[in-house]
A and B are shown apart, each in its own frame.
Chain A
Amino acid sequence: MTITQRFFFSLIAVIPLLINMIGMPFGWMLPGGNWTALVLTTAIMLVSARPFLHSAWAAFKNHQANMDTLVAIGTTTAYLYSLYAMYRHQPVFFESAAFIITFILLGQVLEAKMRKSASSAVEKLLDLQAKDANVWRNGKWQQIPLEQVQIGDLIRVKPGEKVPVDGVITEGSSNLDESMVTGESMPVTKNKGEKVIGATINQSGTFTMQVQKIGNQTLLSQIVQMVKKAQTSRAPIQRTTDQVSHIFVPVVLILAILTFVIWVVIIGETPEKAMMFAVSVVIIACPCALGLATPTALMVGTGRSAKLGVLIKNGEVLEAANNIKTVIFDKTGTITQGKPVVTDVVGSKQQVLEIAGALESDSEHPLASAILAKVKTEGIKISKVNNFTAIAGKGIKASFKGQEALIGNESLFTNKILSSSLKIQLTRLQDEAKTVVLVGYGQQIIGLIAIQDTPKISAVPTISTLKHQGLQTVMLTGDNERVAKAIAQQVGIDWIVANVLPQDKAKVVEEQQKKGPVAFVGDGINDAPALTLANVGIAMGSGTDIAIESGGIVLVKNNLWGVVEAIELSKKTFQRIKLNLFWAFIYNTIGIPIAAGIFAKWGLILSPELAGLAMALSSISVVSSSLLLNRTKLSEEPDFADSSNHKL
């Protein structure tokens, strides 16, 4: 019989007893009197309560005691005593046993429902996967089940379809909605050569991709595995309750015996009244709420954060994140985009970019790709140049439309005159820590191009939100102080540590830890030691290659706002665990004395039935409190699309 069936059985059997109880003050009695109560309660004990008795006995044989022990002892005591009382023609308490069983089963039915809904988040993630794929096999496109897809296969993905597995685009391009995996709400444009993630949705164009990862190697299943691990992990705060749980039930049984003895021997109450107090103690003390407090909150908290693209590794990380005082950011690739882009063009934009594009078209210099990207977005055609010469450490010289064209740093232009207006601009741009290249045509310097690794749009709101929450922000970088300062100013970061060699990043973390717990945010590729050393290591993902192993928290999306979400969600979840534990403890520390009849003098007593109801409510309230984590408000993510023209 399932719990639900057992509950309904006892519910039906308990209704006549309930009517009897309500009717009694009006002189109305159940036909058959005690005999009816005996039959109904016996049925409940045999059908609905039998599993409790079975489990309690099995546990007893193992020298163990659990909540079933308490329920079994509480109800059988009431039941057996009533049998004896009936024989002696004294008042009976059959309904106590019947009500306790009904209430506890009601609690378990609701609790099981809620727990299932709390754990469903991860399973839903896996449902996101496509069931089949359109694969190139035997010279034609074929629809085959996902399990048969192999690494190296070519797959065609049409608009509206899901990308079946992880891979790289070999032909075509499209916009993809990756929100279900990365939590990034804006669609992402992917071109040939770029990686796509399984389970994301192709929005606009048809493309062909080559399969790189299948089965449990795909990003989605890695995420699911990590979330599952997090959900089953233990938080250090739980240790106290774990230790208590071993001795809890035996201690409660001893307390119940003492309650009985004190009421009978010292106060001189009748044994049946004393027994009611003892039974109430046993029933109210069920440690369910205590056992549910941490795992349910952990499950809901990590599940919700996974949906936002924030993977929290375990309960320990969650607890550590709660105490963070300082957040250290790596600069390149974390605060900044990690690749230089053109920020300013001085002079005639059209002409400067046309010449620069022509000169740089064959160069492989990182600055060249920034310039070419800019030329492309401006829609300028790239023309041919002749007599191309690259001058090492200086720049490029060539002839363009019959005249000499130059691009490079100041040393390339020693024999040319820089106009005073350009000179002012050059100094200004350099003060902003930008790399400036000069463009010359004919005998003149016609313009300047400033290039910088710009901060991510999400950096400014992220840093200001963190500061608003009372956290110290630090940026460390291998760049010189001037560049570091310029970036720090743009994003509003408090402290900078410049000229840090990659291997010294961990040292900076150690230094900062003297002031308090530290979170380190890095890309996870060369920051592993710093990520590990920090109290909380937050690894930024960038699309498909997330370094799951390296951080305590992994951000699937390449969006700095995830740091705010990660810290906030960890805090909220941890606070919820504390709240749950507090309630569960309070409930027992207040409930047990009341049930024992300490306040009976003032008329405050707890009958065994009410104790059963209270115990059911306590577990339900703890689980619903955990489920409410799904609804707690988080800081609003600013609309980055609006701030994209923000001058960076």
Chain B
Amino acid sequence: MFKILIVIGALFLIGFIIWWFLIPRPQKAVTARTDVNHLQNVTVKVDGGYRPSTVVVYQGKPAQITFNRIDPSSCLEQVVFPDWGISEYLPEKKEHPIKIDTSKAGEYQYACGMNMFHGKVIVKKERK
């Protein structure tokens, strides 16, 4: 009886792990807001990943992502944008803006220092 319970429990846990972690979930993209100085800004909370993990900025206008690292883990202390050669350390519990290059439209991946957590910046052509 005890063994059967263990097997049932294990199967339930495995099923949960697969359902929770491995099934892809679409993430909502958040568009940056433009402030009075025509600077596009979007805040990304760094806590067990990047939230929101996808941000959208418009091409050609100056833009920055303000990272706010709440997560104390050293895993997320570094953020790397390989396309722009940006690699910066994020201070804990402080806002840390990083200017990004919006000259070319496209999708730009970024990640933590060990490439375990991922985020994405979409540079969109502006609608007329």
Residue ranges of A at the interface with B (Cβ–Cβ < 8 Å): 3, 50-52, 54-68, 108, 112, 115, 119, 225-226, 228-234, 238, 241-242, 245, 247, 249-250, 253-254, 257-258, 260-261, 264-265, 287-288, 291-292, 295
Which residues of B sit under 8 angstroms from A261, Cβ to Cβ?
A: 6-7, 10
Bound CA span A13–B10, Å: 34
Among B19-27, B34-42, B57-65, B120-128, the stretch in contact with A: B19-27
| 0/1 string, B78-110, CB within 8 A of A gives 1 | 001110111100000000000000000000000
Contact indicator A58/B115 (Cβ below 8 Å): no
CB-contact partner of B74 in A112, A232, A233, under 8 A: A112
Q: State how many residues of chain B have any CB contact under 8 Å with chain A.
A: 36
- Whether B48 and A59, one on each chain, are in contact in the complex, defined by CB atoms closer than 8 angstroms, is yes
Determine whether the beta carbon of B81 is less than 8 Å from that of A62.
no
Q: How far is the CA of A88 from the CA of B3 in the complex (A)?
A: 20
Contact (Cβ within 8 A) B25 A63: yes
Taking a contact as CB atoms under 8 Å apart, the answer to whether A60 and B73 are in contact is: no
Interface of chain A, main secondary structure: helix
A485 CB to closest chain B CB (Å) equals 44
- The reply on B33 being an interface residue by CB < 8 A is no
Q: Which residues of B contact A (CB under 8 A)?
A: 3, 6-7, 10, 13-14, 17-18, 20-22, 25, 47-49, 51, 53, 70-76, 80-82, 84-87, 113-117
In the bound complex, CA of A166 to CA of B44 (Å):
39
Within the assembled complex, what's the spacing in Å between the Cα atoms of A3 and B92?
A: 12
- Pick the contact of B73 from A54, A231, A250 — CB < 8 Å? A54
In the complex, which residues of chain B have a beta carbon less than 8 angstroms from the beta carbon of A58?
Answer: 47-49, 70-71
A61-B48, A115-B113, A229-B84 given. 11 additional CB < 8 A pairs?
A51-B71, A55-B73, A57-B48, A63-B20, A64-B117, A66-B75, A225-B85, A231-B87, A232-B85, A257-B10, A295-B113
Q: How far is the CA of A264 from the CA of B86 in the complex (A)?
A: 50
Evaluate contact between A54 and B71: CB separation under 8 angstroms: yes
Q: CA separation between A260 and B84, bound complex, in Å?
A: 46
Contact between chains at A291 and B114 (CB < 8 Å): yes
Identify the 5 closest CB pairs spanning chains A and B, nearest first. A58-B48, A229-B85, A291-B114, A59-B48, A55-B73
Question: B82: shortest Cβ distance to chain A, in Å?
Answer: 5
Q: A230 vs B86: C-alpha distance in the bound complex, in angstroms? A: 10
Q: Tell me which of A60, A232, A257 contacts B82 (CB under 8 A).
A: A232
Q: Bound state CA distance, A63 and B47, in angstroms?
A: 12
* Alpha-carbon distance between A59 and B50 when the two chains are bound, in angstroms: 9
Question: Which of A228, A238, A257 has the most C-beta atoms of chain B within 10 angstroms of its own C-beta?
Answer: A257
Cross-chain contact B82 with A233 (CB below 8 angstroms): yes
Q: Distance (Å) between the CB of B115 and the closest chain A CB?
A: 6
Query: Within 8 Å CB of B116, what residues of A?
Result: 66-67, 245, 287, 291
Cβ of A229: which chain B residues have Cβ within 8 Å of it?
A: 84-85
Q: Which residues of B contact A230 (CB under 8 A)?
A: 85
Q: Would A56 and B87 count as touching, CB distance under 8 A?
A: no
Could you give 30 example pairs across A and B, Cβ below 8 Å? A3-B74, A55-B48, A55-B72, A57-B48, A58-B47, A59-B48, A60-B48, A62-B47, A63-B21, A64-B21, A108-B74, A119-B87, A225-B85, A226-B85, A228-B85, A228-B87, A229-B85, A232-B81, A234-B82, A238-B115, A249-B21, A250-B18, A250-B22, A257-B10, A258-B10, A258-B14, A261-B7, A261-B10, A265-B3, A287-B116
Question: A51-B72, A59-B48, A265-B6 known; A253 and B86 CB under 8 Å?
Answer: no
Measured between beta carbons, the chain B residues less than 8 angstroms from A61 are: 48
Residue of B nearest to A60 (CB): B48
Q: Tell me if A232 and B80 are in contact (CB < 8 A).
A: yes
A229 to B86, CA, bound (A): 7
- Docked pose: A253 CA to B13 CA in angstroms: 9
Q: Are B6's CB and A65's CB within 8 A?
A: no
A247 in contact with B49 given A51-B72, A108-B74, A257-B14 (CB within 8 Å): no
Query: Complex: how many Å from CA A321 to CA B28?
Result: 40
Could you say which of B21, B73, B76 contacts A65, with CB atoms under 8 Å apart? Answer: B21
**Which chain B residue has the least Cβ–Cβ distance from A56?**
B48
CA distance A249 to B81 in the complex (A): 24
How far apart are the CA atoms of A454 and B57 in the complex, in Å?
Answer: 54
CB B119 to nearest CB in A, in angstroms, measures 11
Instruction: List the B side residues contacting A232 at CB < 8 Å.
Output: 80-82, 85-87
- CB neighbours of B86 from chain A (8 A): 228, 232
B75 and A68 form a contact (CB under 8 A): yes
| A265 lies within 8 A of B7 (CB) | yes
Q: Judging by beta carbons under 8 Å apart, are A51 and B73 in contact?
A: yes
Query: A64–B70 Cα gap in the complex (Å)?
Result: 16
